[in-house]
Chain A
Amino acid sequence: MKKSRWKKVLTMLVFLFFSLTGLKAADGTVIDTGATAWMLTSTALVLLMIPGLAMFYGGLVRSKNVLGTIMHSYVAMGIISVLWVIIGYSMCFGGNILGGWFGWNPDYFFLKGIDTNVMEAGIPEYVFSMFQGKFAIITPALIAGAFAERVSFKAYCFFIALWSILVYNPLCHWVWASDGFLFNMGSKGAIDFAGGTVVHISAGVSGLVAALYLGARRGYPYQVIRPNNLVITMLGAGLLWVGWFGFNAGSSISSGLSTAQALTATQVAAAAGALSWIIIESRHQGKATALGFASGILAGLVAVTPAAGVVQPWGAMVLGIIASMLCYMAIMLKNKLGYDDSLDAFGIHGIGGITGALLLVFFIRPSWMSDAATSAGGSWTILNQLGIQALAVTIAIVYAGLVTFALLFMLDRFIKIKSSEDDEMAGLDRSYHGERGYGMLNPS
């Protein structure tokens, strides 16, 4: 009896010893399997958001554009993934070059020098790189909603490739790299937990610029332009919500307390946003629409994205509610102004992102503020942080807006970005892909 127990303990010790030594990286850092497992899961969850976005956007356009719109998201998975491995990761997370405009590290070129790297957080660097790469994919794909149904496929491909290099990578470097200037601004840096400025504000503002530059779709707003399939739009919104747990909770780059905090804030904000959207809508227009619920989910999720790491559940709830109110008003205003941000990339991602990035300061958990005060060497107030947030938001808006405009202007000299009238009338599916999304459906 006694003997067998000893045997058990011994086997366990041997097993433990081998499992620890087996997981040691070349430089001696031990892999934290828990954190790595969660980061792998998060990477997959964020990737799931891209088909989710394809479905969300795909359902909202007319049936002749459904494949073309889905392809806007899918082709980003191809183009940006390749670019990310070649130069994207290096530009985002390498050391400052060109006065900190973006980063560079020769080891990250083609990711060739990180084969055996394990980061301080205990996860292989490949995992971190792939996780971050998914953010780089979804950001340009979000822009596509602003100029849906009227963009040449070829021009779109060149646009997102250049946009990713010139807008996303520098912004990502400033906000998230350890030597980025926004990361180090103020006491504990500009707060952008999972991409309020980097992802949503930059995509929203760029979308607005692109929508204005390209002009409206043919017949907008007098011709009725109805969604072809709200069912896939709802499924897409659901996948986005699920994927957002990877997006936000994964952004803790760990598997612990801060992960749980971010996950909870995410769930609460999405739910509060969705509910408040349908309440506002039914007060204002008499019906609680499915698309309204989906829009509210997104507004809440976008607003909590920069805040998920620092706010408590009640704060996330308030952010979700305010974001829905402001996004709803922004879309009403858009309809009045008459510009054609077709699927409301700016109305949801731009406005929601700005709302979250600024208002999060009022809900920061006390422990964060006291840490900030300590590192500032005395006091650090909500208003101090608000100033930093406002500066980061302004920089993101101005930089993304200006570079996007310059990029569109230059690219338009080489490839006509807007579809010809014939191509637009025939639909993106037929004009650029030679396919059709549905079999026998009534035309819309």
Chain B
Amino acid sequence: MKLITAIIREVQLDRVREALIEADIKRITVSRVSGHGQQRIEEMYRGQIIIPDLIPKIKIEIAVNEAFVDITVDTILKSARTNGNGSVGDGKIFITPLEECIRIRTGERGGTAI
């Protein structure tokens, strides 16, 4: 089991979600986060351009069995890229080993609980 964590652009959320659902990956957790990366974005407040040091991003977390790792990653890669070949700020994907997964309702453990 792996935990796939993807940090993506806010504006790509709809596309990524739709692509994941299309690929039959429907159990996801989404949160709004902010952080530093290579990217600098400009926002406008009352005519003054400011460059925030913490850029808002979306974090998607998906726990998957080994067989689904590649398809999940490929789907996110394809749907989160912008401007065709990708541009700075499109985000990152982290894959971490997942020790255990337990469904609260039944107490099931492991792969079947995902």
Contacts and interface: CB of A to CB of B under 8 A. Distances in A.
Nearest to B14: A425
- Size class of the A contact interface (CB-based, 8 Å): 10 to 19
Contacts of A430: 10-11
Interface stretch (A146-154, A355-363, A388-396, A435-443): A435-443
B18 to A, nearest CB: 8
Contacts, number: 32
Contacts of B34: 440
**7 closest Cβ contacts across the A-B interface?**
A426-B11, A434-B44, A425-B14, A443-B32, A442-B32, A425-B11, A434-B43
Given A434-B43, A434-B44, A435-B44, A442 B15 contact: no
7 contacts: A64-B10, A426-B10, A427-B11, A435-B43, A442-B31, A443-B30, A443-B31
Contacts of B10: 64, 426, 430, 443
B13 A443 contact: yes
Nearest to B31: A442
A416 interface: no
Given A440-B34, A443-B58, A218 B44 contact: no
Interface residues of B, number: 14
A286 interface: no
A223 to B, nearest CB: 8
A425 B31 contact: no
Interface of B: 10-11, 13-15, 30-32, 34, 43-45, 56, 58
Nearest to A441: B32
Interface in A399-444: 422, 425-427, 430, 434-436, 440-443
Given A219-B14, A422-B11, A435-B45, 17 more contacts: A218-B14, A425-B14, A425-B15, A426-B10, A427-B11, A430-B10, A434-B43, A434-B44, A435-B43, A440-B56, A442-B30, A442-B31, A443-B10, A443-B13, A443-B30, A443-B32, A443-B58
B4 to A, nearest CB: 18
A431 B60 CA distance: 23
Interface hub of A218, A422, A430, A443 (most chain B Cβ within 10 A)? A443
B84 to A, nearest CB: 13
B78 to A, nearest CB: 16
Interface string A172-204: 000000000000000000000000000000000
A443 to B, nearest CB: 5
A24 to B, nearest CB: 46
Contacts of A219: 14
Interface hub of B14, B31, B45 (most chain A Cβ within 10 A)? B14
Nearest to A430: B11
Contacts of A218: 14
B15 to A, nearest CB: 7
Contacts of A442: 30-32
B19 to A, nearest CB: 13
Contacts of B44: 434-435
A346 to B, nearest CB: 27
